[in-house]
Amino acid sequence: MEALMRGAHRATRWCTWFGGALILLAAFLIGIDVVLRKFFSTSIGGADELAGYALAIATAWSLAAALLARAHIRIDSLYGLLPLRLRLLLDFLGLALFIGYFGLIARHGWNVVLQSWHAGSRSQSALQIPTVIPQAIWILGLALFVIIGALLFAHALRLVLRGRSGEATRAVSTRSTQEDVAEEVRDVEARRSLESGLR
C-alpha cells in the first residue's frame, strides 16, 4: 500500500508537469496570435479554443496532485477547535464528499463524451476539432482523480485501523494555515540561499 501511495505521489507530480507544460504552450500560442493579429493582421485561428482545452485537461489531471498535497481549501475556523479524533472523522467525511462529487461529475461527463462521439460533433471554430478528443482526455483526468482519491481514502483508513492516526492525519487533514505558510517560507528561503550561493 505504501509503495502504491508513493507511486501515486510520483504520478501526480508528472501530471502537474504535463498540465503546466500545456498551460505554458497555451500562453505561447496566444502570445503569437496577439502579435500576428496586431502586426500582420492575420491569426492562427482557434488559439482561444485550444487554450480552453488546455485549461480543462490541465485542471482535471492536476486535481489529484492538489488532493495529495492537501491544497484544496477547507474552512477550519471551527474544525481547528475540535478534538483530534473528531477532526479525523471530518477529514474522512470531507474526502468522501469530494471524491463523490467529482465522481458524479466524471459519471455525467462520460455521457457528454459519449454524446459527442455518437453525434460526431466538431468545434465551432475554423479548426473543426472533433470535441470528443479533448473531452476524452479530460474525463481520463477526472477518472484518475477518483482512483487516486479512493486510494488515499483506503490508505488513511488502513493507517487509522492500525493505530497510526498521526500518519493518517498527515495524509488527509487540513494543512493548518501555519503549515502552509511554513512551506511558502521554505520555498522563498531556498530560493534566497540559492541566490546568495550564486553571488
Partner 1 sequence: MIWTAVGILLVVLALAVPVAAGLGVLGLALSEIYSKLPLTLAIGEMSWATSNNFLLVAIPFFVLLGEILLRSGIAERMYNALVLWVPWLPGGLMHSNIAACAMFASTSGSSVATAATIGTVAMGEIRKHGYSERLFLGTIAAGGTLGILIPPSINMIVYGVLTDSSIPQLYLAGIIPGLVLATLFSLTILVICLIWPQLGGRRTGATWTQRIRALPDLLPPLVIFLAVIGSIYAGWATATESAALGVIAALAVAALRRKLTLRMLGQAFEGTMRTSAMIMAILIAAYFLNFVITSIGLTTQVNRYVTQLGLTPAQLFVAVVVFYLVLGMFMETLSMMVATVPIVAPIMIKAGFDPVWFGVLIVILLETAMITPPVGINLYVVQGLRSRGRIDDVIVGAAPFVLTMLLMIAALWFWPALALWIPGLVRG
Q: Using CB under 8 A, which residues numbered 27 to 66 contact partner 1?
A: 27-31, 33-34, 38, 48-49, 51-56, 58-60, 62-63, 65-66
CB neighbourhood size of 117 (10 A): 14
Q: Which is nearer to partner 1, 167 or 187 (CB)?
A: 187
Q: Which is nearer to partner 1, 1 or 89 (CB)?
A: 89
Determine, following the binding rule CB under 8 A, whether residue 184 of this chain makes contact with partner 1: yes
Determine, following the binding rule CB under 8 A, whether residue 17 of this chain makes contact with partner 1: yes
Q: Which is nearer to partner 1, 120 or 178 (CB)?
A: 178
In this structure, which amino acid lies at residue 79?
A: Y
How far apart CA 6 and CA 187 sit, in angstroms, is 22
**Closest separation between CB of residue 133 and partner 1, Å?**
12
Number of residues forming the site for partner 1 (CB under 8 A): 79
Q: Which grid coordinates are listed for 54?
A: 488546455
Determine, following the binding rule CB under 8 A, whether residue 154 of this chain makes contact with partner 1: no
Cβ(98)–Cβ(153) under 8 Å? no
Distance of CA 15 to the CA centre of its chain: 8
Q: Which stretch binds partner 1 (CB under 8 A): 3-11, 97-105, 156-164?
A: 97-105
CB neighbourhood size of 192 (10 A): 10
Count CA atoms within 13 Å of residue 88 on its CB side: 17
